[in-house]
Structure 1
């Protein structure tokens, strides 16, 4: 193959480019990069700056801490900050993890984690500066050149799209004294201006706050006069014809559950009484965790010619069918939820906006009392609002659960106190005759709950109660399984002369089943130390049982004085004789703390890593097949040396594996991070401090603990040879 031929773009890269070209705001551009871009763009701490009034202003961001907003919200283009440097030099600025933690720390909380990399890219079109783009990366070492080139390409696409959008903003306001480079962001202004000539109006719904914004043409599309400069849209229930509302809510529930484009059509209630139909074409945008955060699209109005009047029974049947469709959509969304957290997420992300509600407060019965569930919501302010509502309605929620009858507000009723929502319902959650909890649903405007509405909400309460009961049972079983797994691991590591040690175990969070990862630190005859780490194939109770037998068998062979190669050979034969088809990978290392002499054998397990003043590198240990695959196999015995002050890292593959990424690249990413960590001031010498090894273990598992879903168990063991070994 001709190595000079250009690399073809992958499907995911082309999909990201298409998403960038469809974006209608700075926030959408950043979201497109995070959701459709390469998996190694982690998103947390990413930001987009635009030139405005001679300064770089933070226009869109993702999971950027509040202190960073305050400190870096406005950047002088002449400064030495990365956003300014990248734009001034017209080239990417790459920040290593230690730079992001030491050069740009949170002064209120100390240094950063030390394992976060950042790429800052200039946004330039035809030589004219537009802004800067900062993206957090999963790279722990040097960023490969091919990745840098891909980032530059995506930044070029984003810059051209931003320039196009800015041109339309300027065109819409030609009286401005100079071209404006400020784009409307997610604060409520809309930029879908070019579609007005087609008679379509633009809308935007913030699914986090529940706020909906329309431009002036959107109001005209539904036959309403624009309210003024605010553009805040009326409540959905006040616009959509009552007979069509359940169908609209059902369609929204389906769209919110899956994300992506959607189309719905419905009648509206116009002030002049004229029959009118609105076509809504929009898209549900998801964040990096695949949760819906925003919808945006177009509204087009047209005259509606009613069909001959149907019988009252037919109308009632159609309304009942629409409500059934809505309940079915909500049921499907809740049926996908496995844990209580996932149920609350579905309630927040799908049911709340589909029902047109402002807030949902959920309490569960715990030891005979109603306790609030940690709300699965975005951001602090909304969480504070839910806590306030819970305090306000706590007594009512207990009362309704005792009566087992829903309670609904009435239009025009006097509110009992300040802060009470305009409309609300409190639903008792009862499953199989057992009290599960209560649910408060609030609305921004007054509404009347007819008989059909009350029946629908009562049915929804039953569905929600069943989902929560099932999820609580799952959570209990999963917790017990995790406890069983932990019980089969060492409760603590032994204190041994001449070494320091630290270990971590993190169970999988995906599915009910438990895994077979294990580790051990053994006190061996003659002052030797044994390090064992292994991973039994599979994620179920059998894997855990096999792990327990292997751990006991290997301990017996090791303490009898067998070398690592013989120990693994005997353990492999033991596994082959068990009534199981499972196999296991394993690494067994014997260290003499006094001399640093190290002997090891490896059965299909990842190579251990040596960490020292010179950096971090894998120990090249020859190995054999996993345990139990070939009962009579002989494993090669390798010898090495661990110098004073050096550390040995052993781990299972769950520590580095990332979906849709090559395993070897994931390992290199971890090694690069360790390389940078050792290059910091003090380097590996810091490990002489007692707490430093625990800190390193936390850093190594940081990416794993931050994942929304952990697909595999994770185990790691750090063994550090101290500079001055204590006498035995």
Structure 2
């Protein structure tokens, strides 16, 4: 294969590896799950969640061919706004990776060298010099379906066995999509219409082609049922022509059609039930089923059964809803079930509204931070209310600052920001009066008119424990009258939202203070040393209080020597941070007194054993003489340092270790003497840099070493200069960590490069 990455043939050990290896088992399970997926978004999410851990997720996408023969971005994860805007639709004749893969009909791999040159924007999860990108063409029986693009954590070469796994996953996605498309065509094509084109739309029926949507066919289950899809990120909803006929609504003459407003479609008595059921489905994800009534244009009612599924992304956020609408009377439902909606309509409206508030309360109760609350409002409350947008402002030093746009991407972010600016005055007015405001038909609306002016709206002051927390604007795309029950419902929601925001802001404040405390215990800057370049990074854990006990230090020692310290205190809480501060101070004192690394660790271990704590710590301490490159080092249960040579060799130093600090205070530590030549670089780190729950630890270390060798081959210190090269390398190392779905451990690293001998 003519791929752009230097391939390594499988070693003898690899060729003899049993078929039940962890990678094979992971791929087999993923394939089985892929064959049960029902949408492109679910396929991509399954690959990222269930595939091998070296598929990073960030920067991955799935493109489908549409009726015009263009590659259209259908599902994605971790792509920045500019990618959606610039590469949302790709011409297969272009030179972009997805187009090239489809044209060549074979996998197209951009090696880390290529991604760093061709795609230098690090926000895309590429351009790292350590992350590869592969585009897998999805082709079934010579029929092109689309392209699956995945970002890989391979830093260096990509082994052949991993390519085989990727091709298998791509083939599974292709066959599943082909099956879904074929099934949809067979069930959705009326008699007498033309055969669908490559994208699944009819080729001669102009109206059908206009109403088609690239993903709509994936939701169709059987003939006679209307299909729909809601994009919860953009707010767009698409219906097919059958869906309009099921609810006795005219098909819009010009497509693509958007769905009727929920408030204007569902019978008023059933609306609270539907909103409550929808809120619960959005909060939990997965399949759902709702029954409700729709008024006919002739005065009767239609009993509708809505069956769908809420698709979640890898972060468990709802991103898409797809399903079917069926007329239950035509389907032969029992007559005794004819009453009511939302499962029968037996519950009174007051009980249904209570159920909706309960569902919203559950969603908000799981929110921890202000961003979590905003996400819950965006993902659950907005679609449950049938709202076009929700703008959430928080009181900050007497001013209202919008926060809703922070959980959106693409055009929605800009739209919400502009809407927040237009509505600022009415939101401040409502908060000052501590009373909600509701629009009425033909009344003045927020902003005084314009393209973003909503048809109707509600402004809710958010007050908790007598304190002004913020203000909330809920907008609707159609005019509506807010009755007494509606106003009571929104006022109750405002109280729940205000309490959640107050709690979340308190958490954010405590977390910010804890983080500031931890950062205050770490060096603000590294000392500038003659003949030496250095760089450091620290990332807190994303679990618990998001603080911990990792630390690093770069010390000036007597006689011109330099000391490097890296340590990791057990735990991720305030106690671990406090113990870390004491150990850092104690070790610094022992080191500057002139003790060698072994003696320094022994004294620090005794210090930890005398503290009132049950925690222990790993630590690595080494000294460097810049004049001759002599290195003296000792290790207390910590990962070994890595030496990176200019000839592209990256190896762990052979450094015998002792027990972690505080475990056995009487145990001495072994002192190792080595040498760091001019032009070589040392890396010391905590295990959070390489540790991944989805991958063997030793394999993670080997991947890191491969990436370091790649960095050295690119002659970074020579091309960029030592200081700039180390800063870039530190970014590359930590970028791979930030792309993970979670970070259960802290990450600290310290890089040191010997550029010249010191006289």
Alignment TM-score, normalising by the size of structure 2: 0.87
Query: What's the CA shift string for 1:664-709, capped at 9, x where partnerless?
Result: 22222222222222222x3443464432222222222123345564
Counterpart in the other structure of 1:283: 309
Larger mean CA deviation between 295-304 and 9-18 belongs to 9-18
Query: What's the CA shift string for 1:475-524, capped at 9, x where partnerless?
Result: 11111111111111122212222211111122233332521111111111
Query: What's the CA shift string for 1:9-36, capped at 9, x where partnerless?
Result: 8786566435533445545543443344
1:96-107 to structure 2, matched below 5 A, reads: 96-105=111-120
Change (3 A) 1:546 1:402: same
1:255-266 to structure 2, matched below 5 A, reads: 255-266=281-292
* From 644, 654, 659, the counterpart of 1:620: 654
Counterpart in the other structure of 2:129: 114
* From 208, 215, 225, the counterpart of 2:240: 215
In the TM superposition, what is the alpha-carbon distance from 1:248 to its structure 2 partner?
A: 1.5
Aligned to 2:494, what secondary structure does the other structure show? helix
Change (3 A) 1:274 1:51: closer
Counterpart in the other structure of 1:45: 59
In the TM superposition, what is the alpha-carbon distance from 1:377 to its structure 2 partner?
A: 3.1
Aligned to 2:718, what secondary structure does the other structure show? helix
- 2:138, 2:358 → 1: CA distance? 46
Change (3 A) 1:201 1:349: same
**Is the 8 Å Cα contact of residues 367 and 373 (structure 2) preserved in structure 1?**
yes
Larger mean CA deviation between 34-43 and 214-223 belongs to 34-43
Larger mean CA deviation between 612-621 and 171-180 belongs to 171-180
- 1:10, 1:140 → 2: CA distance? 21
Aligned to 2:658, what secondary structure does the other structure show? coil
**Is the 8 Å Cα contact of residues 657 and 669 (structure 2) preserved in structure 1?**
yes
Larger mean CA deviation between 649-658 and 585-594 belongs to 649-658
In the TM superposition, what is the alpha-carbon distance from 1:361 to its structure 2 partner?
A: 0.7
2:413 counterpart of 1:387: no
Larger mean CA deviation between 379-388 and 2-11 belongs to 2-11
- 2:214, 2:143 → 1: CA distance? 28
**Is the 8 Å Cα contact of residues 170 and 180 (structure 1) preserved in structure 2?**
no
2:355 counterpart of 1:322: no
Counterpart in the other structure of 1:335: 365
- 2:386, 2:663 → 1: CA distance? 58
In the TM superposition, what is the alpha-carbon distance from 1:250 to its structure 2 partner?
A: 1.6
- 1:465, 1:621 → 2: CA distance? 56
Counterpart in the other structure of 1:645: 679
Larger mean CA deviation between 299-308 and 169-178 belongs to 169-178
Counterpart in the other structure of 2:167: 152
Aligned to 1:262, what secondary structure does the other structure show? strand
Query: What's the CA shift string for 1:198-217, capped at 9, x where partnerless?
Result: x3221101112222222122
Counterpart in the other structure of 1:610: 643
In the TM superposition, what is the alpha-carbon distance from 1:659 to its structure 2 partner?
A: 3.4
Aligned to 1:263, what secondary structure does the other structure show? strand
In the TM superposition, what is the alpha-carbon distance from 1:397 to its structure 2 partner?
A: 0.7
Counterpart in the other structure of 2:265: 239
Larger mean CA deviation between 498-507 and 394-403 belongs to 498-507
Aligned to 2:216, what secondary structure does the other structure show? coil
Counterpart in the other structure of 2:491: 458
What's the C-alpha RMSD, in Å, of the aligned pairs? Answer: 3.3
- 1:603, 1:52 → 2: CA distance? 59
**Is the 8 Å Cα contact of residues 200 and 214 (structure 2) preserved in structure 1?**
no
Unaligned runs of 5+ in 2: 1-12, 202-210
**Is the 8 Å Cα contact of residues 437 and 460 (structure 2) preserved in structure 1?**
yes
Aligned to 2:407, what secondary structure does the other structure show? coil
Counterpart in the other structure of 2:432: 402
Change (3 A) 1:182 1:460: same
Counterpart in the other structure of 1:202: 227
Change (3 A) 1:428 1:450: same
* From 378, 382, 385, the counterpart of 1:352: 382
Change (3 A) 1:640 1:154: same
Change (3 A) 1:84 1:333: closer
Aligned to 1:191, what secondary structure does the other structure show? helix
- 2:272, 2:28 → 1: CA distance? 38
Counterpart in the other structure of 2:616: 583
Counterpart in the other structure of 2:506: 473
1:149-188 to structure 2, matched below 5 A, reads: 149-167=164-182, 172=189, 180-183=197-200
2:683 counterpart of 1:670: no
* From 420, 423, 439, the counterpart of 2:453: 420
In the TM superposition, what is the alpha-carbon distance from 1:73 to its structure 2 partner?
A: 4.8
**Is the 8 Å Cα contact of residues 102 and 112 (structure 1) preserved in structure 2?**
yes
**Is the 8 Å Cα contact of residues 535 and 723 (structure 2) preserved in structure 1?**
no
- 1:200, 1:112 → 2: CA distance? 46
- 2:232, 2:87 → 1: CA distance? 28
Aligned to 1:568, what secondary structure does the other structure show? helix
Aligned length: 720
**Is the 8 Å Cα contact of residues 185 and 217 (structure 2) preserved in structure 1?**
no
**Is the 8 Å Cα contact of residues 645 and 688 (structure 1) preserved in structure 2?**
no
In the TM superposition, what is the alpha-carbon distance from 1:640 to its structure 2 partner?
A: 1.8
Larger mean CA deviation between 422-431 and 409-418 belongs to 409-418
- 2:500, 2:463 → 1: CA distance? 11
Change (3 A) 1:354 1:700: same
Aligned to 1:725, what secondary structure does the other structure show? coil
**Is the 8 Å Cα contact of residues 474 and 512 (structure 1) preserved in structure 2?**
no
Change (3 A) 1:175 1:140: farther
Query: What's the CA shift string for 1:568-598, capped at 9, x where partnerless?
Result: 1121122112221100000001111111111
Alignment TM-score, normalising by the size of structure 1: 0.91
In the TM superposition, what is the alpha-carbon distance from 1:658 to its structure 2 partner?
A: 2.7
